Amino acid sequence: MELDEITISRAILASQMDVLIDHMELDVAVVGAGPAGLTCAALIAEQGFRVGIIEKKLSIGGGMWGGGMMFPRIVVQEEARRLLDRFGIRSTVYKEGYYVAKSIEAVSKLAAAACDAGAEFFNLIMVEDVMIKADGRVSGLVINWTAVGMGNLHVDPLVMGCRYTVDATGHDAVVARLVEKKGGDIEVKGESFMWADRAESRILEHTREIFPGLVVAGMAANAVAGESRMGPIFGGMLLSGEHAARLVIQKMKE
Amino acid sequence: MELDEITISRAILASQMDVLIDHMELDVAVVGAGPAGLTCAALIAEQGFRVGIIEKKLSIGGGMWGGGMMFPRIVVQEEARRLLDRFGIRSTVYKEGYYVAKSIEAVSKLAAAACDAGAEFFNLIMVEDVMIKADGRVSGLVINWTAVGMGNLHVDPLVMGCRYTVDATGHDAVVARLVEKKGGDIEVKGESFMWADRAESRILEHTREIFPGLVVAGMAANAVAGESRMGPIFGGMLLSGEHAARLVIQKMKE
Amino acid sequence: MELDEITISRAILASQMDVLIDHMELDVAVVGAGPAGLTCAALIAEQGFRVGIIEKKLSIGGGMWGGGMMFPRIVVQEEARRLLDRFGIRSTVYKEGYYVAKSIEAVSKLAAAACDAGAEFFNLIMVEDVMIKADGRVSGLVINWTAVGMGNLHVDPLVMGCRYTVDATGHDAVVARLVEKKGGDIEVKGESFMWADRAESRILEHTREIFPGLVVAGMAANAVAGESRMGPIFGGMLLSGEHAARLVIQKMKE
Amino acid sequence: MELDEITISRAILASQMDVLIDHMELDVAVVGAGPAGLTCAALIAEQGFRVGIIEKKLSIGGGMWGGGMMFPRIVVQEEARRLLDRFGIRSTVYKEGYYVAKSIEAVSKLAAAACDAGAEFFNLIMVEDVMIKADGRVSGLVINWTAVGMGNLHVDPLVMGCRYTVDATGHDAVVARLVEKKGGDIEVKGESFMWADRAESRILEHTREIFPGLVVAGMAANAVAGESRMGPIFGGMLLSGEHAARLVIQKMKE
Amino acid sequence: MELDEITISRAILASQMDVLIDHMELDVAVVGAGPAGLTCAALIAEQGFRVGIIEKKLSIGGGMWGGGMMFPRIVVQEEARRLLDRFGIRSTVYKEGYYVAKSIEAVSKLAAAACDAGAEFFNLIMVEDVMIKADGRVSGLVINWTAVGMGNLHVDPLVMGCRYTVDATGHDAVVARLVEKKGGDIEVKGESFMWADRAESRILEHTREIFPGLVVAGMAANAVAGESRMGPIFGGMLLSGEHAARLVIQKMKE
Amino acid sequence: MELDEITISRAILASQMDVLIDHMELDVAVVGAGPAGLTCAALIAEQGFRVGIIEKKLSIGGGMWGGGMMFPRIVVQEEARRLLDRFGIRSTVYKEGYYVAKSIEAVSKLAAAACDAGAEFFNLIMVEDVMIKADGRVSGLVINWTAVGMGNLHVDPLVMGCRYTVDATGHDAVVARLVEKKGGDIEVKGESFMWADRAESRILEHTREIFPGLVVAGMAANAVAGESRMGPIFGGMLLSGEHAARLVIQKMKE
Amino acid sequence: MELDEITISRAILASQMDVLIDHMELDVAVVGAGPAGLTCAALIAEQGFRVGIIEKKLSIGGGMWGGGMMFPRIVVQEEARRLLDRFGIRSTVYKEGYYVAKSIEAVSKLAAAACDAGAEFFNLIMVEDVMIKADGRVSGLVINWTAVGMGNLHVDPLVMGCRYTVDATGHDAVVARLVEKKGGDIEVKGESFMWADRAESRILEHTREIFPGLVVAGMAANAVAGESRMGPIFGGMLLSGEHAARLVIQKMKE
Amino acid sequence: MELDEITISRAILASQMDVLIDHMELDVAVVGAGPAGLTCAALIAEQGFRVGIIEKKLSIGGGMWGGGMMFPRIVVQEEARRLLDRFGIRSTVYKEGYYVAKSIEAVSKLAAAACDAGAEFFNLIMVEDVMIKADGRVSGLVINWTAVGMGNLHVDPLVMGCRYTVDATGHDAVVARLVEKKGGDIEVKGESFMWADRAESRILEHTREIFPGLVVAGMAANAVAGESRMGPIFGGMLLSGEHAARLVIQKMKE
């Protein structure tokens, strides 16, 4: 059989466009494909919900690839180790309670798990605004190609509807800041000083619905709350992603 | 137990530095963590060799994340489908002989496989020269942080030794061009026009040891040979990675 | 009736994707939406052929908007005046044989005519390579989003098939140069000195099929031929576009 | 007849300079050549007033060329469809009440209509300040070449007088912000969240004279009022342009 | 009397446009307003010829403002001192045969002299090509706003006719290089090593008509000839400007 | 006599360094070499005071070179015409009370006059701070090479003492803003809307000592006062420069 | 003996990593390797404490290399001369009480002294945050490669513990500003006007522990206090470094 | 005694200008202040010759600060160890024949030695050309501020005479390339592949007078000769600097 370039092109266009048009109405939009977002999306999608992961960069993984200071290792504490195990990420003990894993393995396996659970990735897409209508809920995301922003092009966005949004965009807390800036009654305080122990122990209480329809997870949760900074440890991020998933699933089932 | 930031930092430094010092002498250095490089590295590492994957970017995956024109789907032909299956990457038939997979799933699972096989990733590291001594072989890579180049800093490199090098850096054919530029007797011709069928059917013959100690794979193989361009199809890249692995393993066992 | 954002988004996606998938096989691809390209596309599409106009910028019109030195007027000589009239572009006589029109009116009406004739515009898309297979003809264009290039993103292209290609990309002669660079047996000589009279009188003979399947028109025709430069006069461009249309129509009907 | 370059150059200079000197006193200056501005200018000029359209870019059309997310289609609701028809822009029904048109056709035909109505375009020109004298009205615009700003050149502006100014510069609301910044008693609130239905239904009431001599139209009107964002729908913009035209015509006739 | 902004604007437009249209046909175009160009232009204009000085920058003066290494002093040797005196530029003796003047005084008085002699300045305008017709002479310059180049705008040029052109653009030798690049039979060799004495003593023989209609002067003359570099001394430049003036005047009178 | 490069270099260094060391204590520092600064410096230096003109750019002249919108003409009203005459700048009447001059002639002759009067230019030097000691006066300027700022180099400044400083830096009002920012009790209000007549008639009252030892002139005077903008007319700038000179001379003589 | 590249690489990696892991817990972290920081670090290290000097640039020395306005000389007053002598930096008397030294000699000898005293340099490393835990003290620094910031890479930091931190980062007062920004109860006022005498005489009282665990020295001390600017004199910086050393040593011994 | 800012400024200007004027005629100019240049300059200056070290950057030290891959350690082999000892740079044995030193200590002590020997540093100055007169020797350097180049300013250079020039500018071999480019009969081949052992053993033979008056040292010597690359080892550079010093001293004494 001879390969035909046009058939290949059409195969890509047609299959992705079906997915895109289909996913213009999501159950849950997870913004940011870092450790918290991937964990959260995988766990919600496992329950059969229609989940879209929106990532502004070409690649997913966020700040996890580089480990600490470009040494590609991450550390996870005792409580979060079961999540490493759950996703098949191998780790070694450095000292009691400190588990070291390879950052690239961690990203790859979290992403693979999200795929297997049925979550759909929309990379190279940025959120430039939110949709809030008469019910006062975040009920959609105003999206555009990241490349439109990079090229400084004047091009209008489209809108993707969603019942729940999880802001897992790290300390930028992109979605929360958009809501704050446009007049929503929330305040994004920004992270405080580094104090890993405190930050890790409080992150679950900061992982919550801060505005109708909008849940924050991972570093974004601590940034909104003005909590201490976490340091080069990723357990809290995985646990927060899991917690956000539980919250959203519960709400969706109500 | 209270988390201690300094212990976390030391855990990262110590575990990665052991790996780094240990891997300054590799069996095989695979340069470029795109589809060909990941496939190749996974298959060689499975045989128990010490494999390092050197990737200049923060994330691995090369041009695969974006699918075709930012629609994150890839197409694979019949012959390469068994490699998708081998790495657990799901696909659907678009038309007979044309299989569509999700690009993000493909990257993630190839990387996960390379990790599981024992290959070690060195991301954010660029190859700025090669080491060729009296025996006329490529016997090492002159490496530096990519960030040193981005920041235009004047900082000297280090050298990583290796018995074999696989250049899987795409159409730039970075290692091959370094050998050419410094006087090695090879010519990098650059890709010709798009003609997917021809490019796919010839890639295996172009995947070969072009200079003592240096094997080219994936798009780099076609670029060196002046072959037609492949188009938005990834089967040839996976097959070329597999072929390069076989060549290297055979040589290593000699 | 209440407006629904998601319906609006789906309307845009669905209608354009149908067009895009449908137009992956064109009769004629006109590259460059300046005066020559627009004229050419309008005249071919009028004959019922499936014509796609590929323009790398957000807006069409090329260098016509700015007139001469940012004074938005263009000049057209006697022979080309009937083309102004044909497209409804008003002009005034400056001196016998020199007709002045408004540049913005000229662009708008040429584009409107191309639309009315049924040509389909693909703006923000660049041609990064051509497809040439066993028959040695340009039989397709390797396309990508311009924004991918502006953002320096590593994203693969798609392929759009076409029976004939018209290179109307101005003095860059983008498609002709791609063919030359990849080894096609043509030479792009570049424009010579300014000599309007000579340039205008020779442009029709330079408007021709320079490579199987590839016709050059407008400034690209003169640039390929090493002809004199035309100066701030647009008649030759319109006439060349018309001539290219005739050539292509004749070939298509053979 | 032999073509003479110098005659061509003089033809361009002389014809445009006459227009420029003549139009230093306008009846109405429309700033911004997007959909609202073009509609507004066409309708006012049709009444015989001297209208100048000032556009900072080389091409006119604003954000309309790129449709939604670079898919060049626009959507218009029932109420605005008659304006599409009036300007000869073809559309198809996607679903009841949602009409889809081609963005490039829409721009071209709006611009052609403005030309035919007698409006004069001044592209590549930016407004860097306004003139307000003893009567407290905006009675002129302080203009400069956009290229002067791009090249960061220190060059003084000129002044173009006008009885009425329409700010149709999109969400930047350039003229309104200049008035606000220099101490005029108005506030530009900026758009609120996306809520297309509300935005479309309120835009006509926001299209008004916000400062003596200054009318806002299109997205600028909503941005000044702090209204919801419109989403990828262009009906409101056309209707607002029409409404602004009516207001200005009425005032001019008083 | 009350000042009116619009009258001021029209005064500027009208007076300069008359000059511009009038000067589209020059006797002599001097390109580059550094010391050689200013001297040359002043001396030719004094003879009653219509002289235009085309300068790409906002300010004239070229490299003279900064003296040597930002110390704003210039040195002139014995032979050139009479030119300083002629233009009223004061100097002091540093050592026998070495006269020091203030660089800012030198520029100002040369420019004032050129104005008084009747030469017309066209600053912010670049030469992007030359016009050469059947007689094989440089008979015009293809000009554009410098700002068009700085802003990377796609805008067509105009053409300014001239009987003689003097290239006084310094070591870039802009006009000469355009002629060389487009196929004129001249070679621009570029300056050789620094050797002030040799460079100064040879500059007059290099100041000559290198192509029909094109005279080179100042550093451009040495750059074309591959002569030694002059060093921080300006006498040769003034003398070369004077010599070029004599040559051109003689030719014009023939 | 043979020219010696090293003697030339030493001539430049030695003559300028004597001037520089000598001028580290000035009577009057005029900051900004535009029309107001040049006029002011020329008139003060004529009285025999030691005047230094500090200009951050390579060339002097400020925004005067470009006339209005790159048409190099300036307009001056009746009252200021005598200053044109005083400096030998020719003008023509456009309409009663509106005199048009060439911008390049104006700059050159103002600068020549300042040189002849004995003012010393320090171009390529920026003011990065002011010196204020126990007496609460501006008694010195903290200066550095402009190139240090452009190259973003970390290099310390030097201090130039002066009895009076004139801020003639245009609407930036650089010195005034430094005093305001560091806590001096003045407010720089910024220019208001364009209203030439008002601006011109008020500029003399705004030209005053706004802080002990600091006089503002030209556009800087209006910018500090929050006055209307002047428009493309230069009479007020010349008159303000003259007025500032009178104020400073009077103070110096007290 | 034959040199082996891999042994060389391992020698560098192993020796520096031991130092790095070892110095993750410091007695004193001195941030900024300018004159104050080098003096301070040398004097504390001489007492046997474990001192790390963190410098964001590739080279140490801060703003001292360039002297005043790129003339590489520094001036030191009488009181500080003994510190020049202590570090072997030669000086000459310009005028009573004013000693001139070469800036490059000064930097080199201060750095050599710090090395000899046992302080360890960590160059190319930036402080991006501080660690403050339950005791409310600055007890660690959150560090990252400067190159990560220059390349705009998303990479997590590590943490370096320290009992005392000296902020010697010049007028940026980087560490102090981080504490202020994140909510610590201090205010960084920024330097006031130039007044060398006052600044020099007050610097010792501003050199103090401004927050538990954080001492400021050199220009950072004056910047925090809102003190006058010092001018091109370096005595106060050396004296402040010495004073900070005394304070810290006393605290460490308590 | 009260400190006076103006006296400080004059002290810096006067002392450096004396040095600068005095050093416009050098015995030896060493270009590049890296390890080879510093060693060479120190050893020549010790013999009483007038040596100037010209360094384009603000800081000296070249690529030595960053050690290998930003780990600030350098390695030196047995033969070069005595040079470390001579300059007081401490080292430790990693393995027989491999000595590790701290890079910052090495730079500081080499620079301190050059200062003590009487060499004069001219930092922030670049060489933009060479002077070659009738005798065909490099007899001077055409210098300018580096900041002039960074700011892209059009400012003329000065000339510094010298009997001998040492090009120690690293692999750029700046001076050698200038001679080659301007027509001197030498070829700069560029470094070959990494092969430390060969590079180190050959460097002394490559350290030689390649053109009358021009000696190359350090990496520049190997780059000119097309020699293998040295790798992260600095012994050869120190030895080459010493060798160049011997050559020059011998020549100077002839």
Q: What is the CATH number of the domain that holds H147?
A: 3.50.50.60
**Distance in Å, alpha carbon of F89 to nearest chain D alpha carbon:** 20
The answer to whether residue B20 is domain-embedded is no
In a 10 Å sphere around its CB, with 0-12 CB exposed, 13-18 middle and 19+ buried, how is residue B13 labelled? buried
Neighbouring chains of F at 3+ CB pairs under 8 Å are D, E, G, H
Contact check, Cβ <8 Å, B156/H198:
no
Chain H residues with CB inside 8 Å of F27's CB?
Answer: none
- Determine contact: D144 vs chain C, CB below 8 A: no
Q: Say whether H131 and E192 touch across the interface (CB within 8 A).
A: no
Contacts of G69 in chain F (CB under 8 A): 143-145, 148, 155-158
Judging contacts by C-beta atoms under 8 Å, the chain E residues touching residue C62 are 154
What are E93-147's pLDDT values in tens digits? 999 999 999 999 999 999 999 999 999 999 999 999 999 999 999 999 999 999 9
Task: Report, as an integer, the average pLDDT of F209-231.
Answer: 96
Q: Subunits that touch chain G (at least 3 Cβ pairs < 8 angstroms)?
A: A, B, F, H
Q: Do chains A and F touch (3 or more CB pairs under 8 A)?
A: no
Q: Which helix (H) or strand (E) holds G30?
A: strand G25-31
Task: Judge whether H59 is closer than 8 Å to chain F, CB to CB.
Answer: no
Q: Looking at CA atoms only, how far is residue B22 from chain G in angstroms?
A: 9
Interface residue H150 vs chain G (CB under 8 A): no
B17:A71 CB<8 A: yes
H158 touching G, CB under 8 A? no
Q: Is the CB of residue A139 less than 8 Å from the CB of residue A161?
A: yes
Q: F-contacting residues of D 173-212, CB under 8 Å?
A: 179, 182-184
pLDDT band, residue F1 (cuts 50/70/90): low
Residue A124 touches partner D, C-beta closer than 8 Å: no
Look at residue F231 and tell me whether its pLDDT is greater than 90: no
Q: Which chains touch C (3 or more CB pairs under 8 A)?
A: A, B, D, E
In a domain, G17, yes or no: no
Q: Is C150 on the interface with E (CB under 8 A)?
A: no
Residue from G131, G156, G160, G165 to probe the interface with A (highest A Cβ count within 10 Å) = G156
Between C and D, how many CB-CB pairs are < 8 A? 193
Candidates G16, D142, A126; CA nearest to F171 is: D142
Task: Kindly state whether D62 is in contact with chain A, defined as any CB-CB distance less than 8 angstroms.
Answer: yes
Please give, rounded to a whole number of angstroms, the shortest distance from the CA of G191 to a CA of chain F. Answer: 8
Collect all residues of chain E within an 8 Å Cβ-Cβ radius of residue H130. 193-194
pLDDT digits (tens, 9 = 90+) for D175-207: 999 999 988 999 999 999 999 999 999 999 999
Nearest CB to A148: which of D70, D196, D197? Answer: D70
* Nearest chain H CA: its distance from G253 CA (Å): 28
Out of D71, D115, D147, the one facing C105 most closely (by C-beta) is D115
Contact with chain D for residue F73, Cβ under 8 A? no
Would you call F93 an interface residue with chain H, using a CB distance cutoff of 8 Å? no
Note whether residue H98 is domain-resident.
yes
Measure in Å the smallest separation between the Cα of A57 and chain D Cα atoms.
Answer: 16
Q: Per-residue pLDDT tens for G64-91?
A: 999 999 999 999 999 999 999 999 999 9
Instruction: Name every chain B residue with its beta carbon within 8 A of the beta carbon of G20.
Output: 13
State the residue range of the domain holding H133: 32-253
Inform me whether the pLDDT recorded for G173 exceeds 70. yes
* Closest CA of chain B from C179, distance in Å: 8
Contact yes or no for A132 and D193 at CB 8 A = yes
pLDDT tens per residue across all 254 residues of chain A: 688 999 999 999 999 999 999 999 999 999 999 999 999 999 999 999 999 999 999 999 998 999 999 999 999 999 999 999 999 999 999 999 999 999 999 999 999 999 999 999 999 999 999 999 999 999 999 999 999 999 999 999 999 999 999 999 999 999 999 999 988 999 999 999 999 999 999 999 999 999 999 999 999 999 999 999 987 789 999 999 999 999 999 999 98
**What string of DSSP letters covers H158-206?**
EEEEEEEEEE--GGG-HHHHHHHHTT-S-------SB-HHHHHHHHHHH
pLDDT in tens, chain C (254 residues): 688 999 999 999 999 999 999 999 999 999 999 999 999 999 999 999 999 999 999 999 998 999 999 999 999 999 999 999 999 999 999 999 999 999 999 999 999 999 999 999 999 999 999 999 999 999 999 999 999 999 999 999 999 999 999 999 999 999 999 999 988 999 999 999 999 999 999 999 999 999 999 999 999 999 999 999 987 789 999 999 999 999 999 999 98
Nearest Cα to B170, choosing from B72, B237, B76? B237
Task: Please give the Cα distance from D28 to D164 (Å, whole number).
Answer: 5
Chain D neighbors of A132, CB-CB under 8 A: 193-195
For residue E8, name the pLDDT band (cuts at 50, 70, 90): very high
- Taking only the tens place, the pLDDT of each residue in D151-182 is 999 999 999 999 999 999 999 999 999 999 98
Which one of F1, F2, F4, F8 would you mutate to disrupt binding with E, by most E Cβ within 10 Å of its Cβ? F8
| H114, part of any domain | yes
Residues of B in contact with G14 (CB under 8 A): 21
Nearest CB among D131, D156, D182 relative to F66 is that of: D156
Total number of domains constituting chain D: 1
**A-D contacts (CB, under 8 Å):** 61
Estimate the crossing angle of helix C5-22 against helix A5-22, to 10 degrees.
Answer: 170
Residue A135, number of CB atoms within 10 A of its CB = 8
Where does the pLDDT of residue F232 fall: very low under 50, low under 70, confident under 90, or very high at 90 and above?
A: confident
Cα nearest neighbour of G124 on chain B? B153
Model pTM above 0.90: yes
C-alpha dihedral over F94, F99, F105, F107, to 10 degrees? Answer: -140
pLDDT digits (tens, 9 = 90+) for E49-66: 999 999 999 999 998 999
Q: Which of F2, F4, F7, F9 to mutate to test the interface with H (most CBs of H within 10 A)?
A: F9
E&F contacts, CB < 8 Å: 191
**Which runs of consecutive H residues, i.e. helices, occur in chain F?**
5-22, 35-45, 81-86, 103-117, 146-150, 174-181, 196-206, 219-225, 235-253
| Residues contacting residue C192 through CB under 8 Å, at least 6 positions apart | C226, C227, C228, C229, E182, E183
List the beta bridge partners of residue D76.
D99
In a domain, B140, yes or no: yes
Residue of H12, H147, H158 with shortest CB distance to F145? H147
Chain H residue numbers touching B157 (CB-CB < 8 A): 68-69, 231-232
Residue with tokens 């609130």: D189
Instruction: Write the residue in H10, H153, H159 that is nearest to F5 by C-beta.
Output: H159
Chains that touch H (3 or more CB pairs under 8 A): B, E, F, G
Q: Is B104–A121 a contact, with Cβ atoms under 8 angstroms apart?
A: yes
The CA angle A104-A105-A107, to the nearest 5 degrees, is 65
DSSP structural state of residue F71? B
Per-residue pLDDT band for F27 (boundaries 50, 70, 90) equals: very high
In a domain, E146, yes or no: yes
Q: What is the DSSP string of chain C?
A: ----HHHHHHHHHHHHHHHHHHTTEEEEEEE--SHHHHHHHHHHHHTT--EEEEESSSS--GGGTTTBTTB-EEEEEGGGHHHHHHTT---EEEETTEEEEEHHHHHHHHHHHHHHHT-EEEETEEEEEEEE-TT-SEEEEEEEEHHHHHTT---B-EEEEEEEEEE--GGG-HHHHHHHHTT-S-------SB-HHHHHHHHHHH-SEEETTEEE-THHHHHHHTPPB--S--HHHHHHHHHHHHHHHHHHH-
The 8-class DSSP code of residue D62 comes to G
Residue H197 CA neighbour count, 13 Å, CB half:
12
Closest partner residue to F6 (CB to CB) among H10, H58, H159 is: H159
Residue in F closest to D137 by C-alpha: F193
| Bridge partners, A127 (sequence order) | A143
Per DSSP, the three-state class of E210 is strand
- Please judge whether E159 and D10 are an interchain contact, meaning their C-beta atoms are less than 8 angstroms apart: no
Do the chains contact at B24 and G14, CB–CB below 8 Å? no
pLDDT of residue B1: 63
| Strand ranges, E, within A83-219 | 91-95, 98-102, 120-123, 125-132, 138-145, 158-167, 209-211, 214-216
pLDDT at residue number G43 = 98
Residue F21 included in any domain: no
Q: How many Cα neighbours within 13 Å face the side chain of C96?
A: 2
Sign of CA dihedral A231, A232, A236, A237: positive
Q: Report the gap between the CA of E178 and the closest CA in chain C (Å).
A: 9
Torsion (CA) F34, F35, F36, F41 in degrees, nearest 10: 80
Beta bridge pairs of residue F143? F127, F158
Chain C neighbors of B68, CB-CB under 8 A: 156-158
Among G20, G155, G158, G181, the strongest candidate for a mutation testing the A interface, having the largest count of A CBs within 10 A, is G155
ipTM over 0.90: yes
Is residue G51 very low, low, confident or very high in pLDDT (cuts 50, 70, 90)?
very high
In a domain? residue H49: yes
